[in-house]
Structure 1
């Protein structure tokens, strides 16, 4: 354990031969605490999704169960994916990281030619009515590629060539394509995940200053693209004062704040929200946390925040116990993703930061995000299984 804390993860035993052995199905015991936390969040998410969505679902689809029925199907698919990922040896992703990243870049290019929805091109529409959101896949692709690079160059992470250049190149390509959608929240999330993984992976702090300068220059170039600067400026303006357009761009934020204020300490009670009755547009999506606050109050909201915090903590415990650097960084990256995304969503709902359109993990309605998220939690469980197997 001391060795894992000192070096981020214990080095594989047996030298190069052990590191290069053919990966097998992980057979150790999973981290039960992590699994229970995931299942608790999924359960809370389904309950709150139904409570938040049934009025909107009945009004638009004549079926109060419209959204929750679909979400249950996606939860089932996601749990199957989580089980499969937990049984699958995560070390295979070390070999697949680059191909997955290349495919992700292609998807991020393709989505730019798709029809816009709510002013953004974030979905690839499939025959039969389905859709795929490439930005959700991009989060996973960036995490495993960063983990691969950090593991391969852990003794050279202090240098510019290995500790900063490949990472800012990857982030620049992904962030540039996502800004063009535009998807500001996803861009912020991926940049933040990348920065945290680089810091934990050992990148010299002096290189972060260079990375920040490059980022500022890149942002300056991107905002010159027609439409992007107007989009960002509008978001910021209505964040600072949503009452500038109370029936337009500030409407959703204002209704969200009304919901939070109405909840008080203990809430109005499960199912008793008033703002979900067509006041908050699509309350099952990005602003579902406002309904949580209104119905469950400060206490209920705090419990959910604590569950997210415990999940991140347990992910770091798994990372410290990992038997190799790649597994440790994968566990860190995937759990940081959940924590950061939850934090950003809560900040948006409470108007702490501009409304950037980011979902609440395990709670918000959505197929690609939920199934991908559960599968990624399975990868973290795979890391825990491998650690338990080698310990035995």
Structure 2
């Protein structure tokens, strides 16, 4: 009997679904609070950032439901075409106008903006899962377990560094490394990759010298943000003020002071600092706890997946969310240099939210347990 793409299926994993919906709801509430002042100042409308985010959330939830009902094995056929599309978009974005010194968004008339790096993350997980699932018994070999992954990551990373998008590059390299490790790539290749990475950085410096002052400025502002409090260090300083002001239980929802044009991007990369200010240490722990639970539940789903391909998809998508959250929190607390990375489900951004929810739909599809 021929398989239908949409078919009657067992129920999806309810705990994972609840966690996703909780993160989406929590994120929308915090975005409404964090973005109100800057939206009123910049656009004359306090809901200018929340309104489109609500639409994207609705579309994303519909996409999540559809993705949860699609036989995930169809992604075997879509993996390479989607990667090709993402590479074309990553190249096209280099011809777009700069915003804050970067070229990360494609402007689509009548639609808004599209961030190709979000599609690239999705495509990398699909391609890596596809390759590993088909060649899992030969992953110790260089020609199978290293070379194709290195080529894919190399091309994607090079295009993203040209934007420049350091945080996205680090995230995609991290996702790829995790999938390779889980898939069975030999440990010695990771050691050699470390040596190769040093060489790649040297090559990048030689080929793309513009990255040197860009990275150097970020490093200096990380080590001593107060050396340039009105320049590169301004955002980090204001973020730290917000976190410190929150104390144990926060100032109260909607009561942030730093969102009133002190933190430059409270609706985006630094929304976690507003969470800390308004909800305090307790609220910050709640956010971190939700991401930890999402990761743990995702790993449980992967462990019970019907096949290797489904397990790898789940691992790739939940590790992406967890790693991105870790990097964002580390940036906001000045644990690592500012790399411009958003907080999943919380930061403003339609492409990111819809892609995230689509990925969560794939995880829910795998959780149904039917091949």
Query: Residue 64 of structure 1 is aligned with which of 41, 46, 49?
Result: 46
Query: Residue 368 of structure 1 is aligned with which of 320, 334, 351?
Result: 351
Q: Match of 1:115?
A: 97
Query: Residue 156 of structure 2 is aligned with which of 174, 193, 215?
Result: 174
1:322-333 alignment runs, 5 A limit? 322-333=305-316
Q: Match of 2:194?
A: 212
Q: Match of 1:42?
A: 24
Deviation for aligned residue 1:169 = 1.0
Q: Match of 2:286?
A: 303
- Structure 1 stretch displaced more, 188-197 or 60-69: 60-69
The alignment's TM-score, normalised by the length of structure 2, stands at 0.97
1:272-283 alignment runs, 5 A limit? 272-283=255-266
Q: Match of 1:3?
A: none
Q: What is the distance in 2 between the residues matched to 1:181 and 1:315?
A: 32
1:87-102 alignment runs, 5 A limit? 87-102=69-84
Deviation for aligned residue 1:23 = 6.5
Question: Is the Cα contact below 8 Å between 1:23 and 1:92 reproduced in 2?
Answer: no
Deviation for aligned residue 1:130 = 1.0
Q: What is the distance in 2 between the residues matched to 1:57 and 1:170?
A: 39
Q: What is the distance in 1 between the residues matched to 2:4 and 2:215?
A: 46
Q: What is the distance in 2 between the residues matched to 1:67 and 1:25?
A: 34
The alignment partner of 1:223 has SS state of helix
Q: What is the distance in 1 between the residues matched to 2:158 and 2:195?
A: 16
Question: Is the Cα contact below 8 Å between 1:168 and 1:211 reproduced in 2?
Answer: no
Q: What is the distance in 1 between the residues matched to 2:111 and 2:363?
A: 31
Q: What is the distance in 2 between the residues matched to 1:324 and 1:201?
A: 13
The alignment partner of 1:103 has SS state of helix
Question: Is the Cα contact below 8 Å between 1:238 and 1:249 reproduced in 2?
Answer: yes
Q: What is the distance in 1 between the residues matched to 2:326 and 2:274?
A: 16
1:138-153 alignment runs, 5 A limit? 138-153=120-135
Deviation for aligned residue 1:70 = 1.1
Q: What is the distance in 2 between the residues matched to 1:333 and 1:266?
A: 34
Q: What is the distance in 1 between the residues matched to 2:59 and 2:111?
A: 18
* Number of residue pairs aligned between Structure 1 and Structure 2: 369
1:311-390 alignment runs, 5 A limit? 311-385=294-368, 387=369, 389=370
Q: What is the distance in 1 between the residues matched to 2:253 and 2:90?
A: 39
Structure 1 residue 25 corresponds to structure 2 residue 3: no
Residues 105-136 of structure 1: per-residue CA shift (max 9 Å, x gap): 11111111111111000011112361110000
Runs of 4 or more consecutive aligned structure 1 residues displaced over 4 Å after TM superposition: none
The CA RMSD over aligned residues, in Å, is 1.3
Query: Residue 130 of structure 1 is aligned with which of 62, 87, 112?
Result: 112
Q: What is the distance in 2 between the residues matched to 1:116 and 1:24?
A: 41
Deviation for aligned residue 1:282 = 2.3
Q: What is the distance in 1 between the residues matched to 2:212 and 2:340?
A: 17
The alignment's TM-score, normalised by the length of structure 1, stands at 0.92
Which ranges of structure 1 fall in alignment gaps of 5 or more residues? 1-17
